[in-house]
Amino acid sequence: MLFKFLLLVGIFFAIYIIFFKRSKKEVSNERKKKSKSTPKGDIMMECEKCETFVSEDEAIIKDGKFYCSKQCAGIK
């Protein structure tokens, strides 16, 4: 009777390990992906000329300064 119980527990443990336990590499890879995937659109930059805030993705960079549009940057 005790042997059958231990065998049953062993089988359930093996099933748990095979299907539900994830490796440490998978968990660490997911954490790295989450930490690196911060969107750039959250950072707002101020236009040098009109002082309007624009997202970093949409900002125009000229001479190391951020501008909201081509007109403010002096680009045709």
Exposed e or buried b for every residue in 49-75, given b needs 16+ CB within 10 A? Answer: eeeeebeeeebbeeeeebbbeeebbee
Q: Give the SS3 label for residue 50.
A: coil
Does the global pTM surpass 0.85? Answer: no
For 3-34, what is each residue's pLDDT tens digit?
999 999 999 998 888 877 766 666 667 666 66
Instruction: Name the DSSP letter for residue 42.
Output: G
Percent of the chain with pLDDT over 70: 74
Specify the range with the lowest mean pLDDT, choosing from 25-34, 47-56, 60-69: 25-34
Q: Indicate the DSSP class of residue 49.
A: T
